[in-house]
Amino acid sequence: MGIFEKLRAEFIDIVEWLDPTNDTMIHRFERYNNEIKNGAKLVVRESQVAVFVSEGQVADVFQPGMYTLTTQNLPIMSTLRGWKYGFNSPFKAEIYFANTKNFTDRKWGTKNPIMMRDPEFGPIRLRAFGNYAVRIKDPVKVIRAVAGTDGQFTTDEITEQLKNIIITRFSDSLAESKIPAIDMAAQYNELSKLLQEKIMPEFEEYGLEVTKFLVENISFPPEVEEAIDKRNSMGVIGNLQNFMQYQAAKSMETAAKNPSGTAGEGIGLGMGFAMATQMAGMFQQQQGQNQPQGGAMPPPVPGSIPYHVVVGGAQSGPFTMDVLRQMVMQQTLTRDTLVWKQGMAAWAKASEVPELAALFVPTPPGPPPVPPM
């Protein structure tokens, strides 16, 4: 091969790009000394756009198709170079192919929980994740804004910036939507549409377009999930008074089947029954407050004010007289046990309270000695 053939081979006859990757957005066509032969063929495939850059300026843009590169097909570059009468020699230009296909399944997610004020749970932290699809809408703007002279610009080089935009706008949109946390699962479509509209202008600043945006999941912290489960459990229980009475009756039945139980079990039974009675009374009192004035609950019977008791160094109660009587039988309440009820100035021993002193039956004396025979 002669020298002229070698030089001729260095000039490009066909300019095209076959994408062997799945994440390349901008590819610079490489050739020797940036020289392209006059009359060379330019092949731009579907989902591609070719951008010619001459002397650092964006010149001509070619949509999908096949072109013969002449001064007639390069009007802007011909003007920049001053080719008034055409050219017959190779010319220099940088050629960038922009991949305009949809880049799908791009992931986004919150690195840290998002703080927001919920009308039902108060301040809570939420995490969210999803995916989106993006494509090049304006290849010239992409080259100018983000790609620059990068010969192989991929989605990884801009993904982090796009994620930051999404998370920032997602946090703002979530707060503005004022959707209760418990109802968010039913609003994913609305949130996805709202957020896509909100981030679209910022993506367009980079020459990109969001073609699909999806919120896949919004998760609550464990403590909020636990609170929701507890509330659902209470809804299943239904009438609290009936439930507590049922639980107390079951405890008494279990104790009756085990008469040889320890004193501790008896203490637990008495205290459990007292708690059930107290909670049922509170529930009835709340119902009475919600009823009309004519149907209000009557006040407590005089003399039935319950007592607080110090058991094991800790305050417990209040307990009714029936429960205190059981505690005396179980020896949980003794003469020296400190007690207090509404109206008393200070704590006092049970034996010093006339109402409770009667609960302690004096220990009968031992039998008289048997006279000697």
Three-class SS of residue 101?
A: coil
Report all structural domains of the chain as residue ranges with CATH numbers, in order of start.
3-99 (no CATH), 103-225 (3.30.479.30), 238-288+305-357 (no CATH)
Enumerate the β-bridge partners of residue 118: 122
Say if CB 51 and CB 139 are below 8 A apart: yes
For the chain, what is the largest distance between any 2 Cα atoms, rounded to a whole number of angstroms?
Answer: 157
Q: Sort strands 12-15 and 35-44 into parallel, antiparallel or unpaired.
A: parallel
Residues 6+ apart with CB under 8 A from 96: 26, 27, 28, 29, 50, 51, 53, 139, 143, 147
Per-residue pLDDT in tens (0 to 9) along the chain, 373 residues: 455 444 444 556 889 999 888 899 999 998 766 678 888 899 999 999 999 988 888 888 999 999 988 877 787 777 767 666 566 667 788 899 999 999 999 999 988 888 888 877 778 888 899 999 999 999 999 999 888 888 899 999 999 999 999 999 998 888 777 888 878 888 899 889 999 999 999 999 999 999 999 999 988 878 777 777 776 666 655 555 555 655 666 665 565 565 555 444 444 545 555 555 555 455 455 544 544 444 454 555 555 678 888 887 788 878 888 888 888 888 888 888 898 888 888 889 888 888 888 888 765 666 666 666 5
Name the residue among 28, 17, 14 with its Cα closest to residue 142: 28
In 82-145, alpha helices (H): 139-142
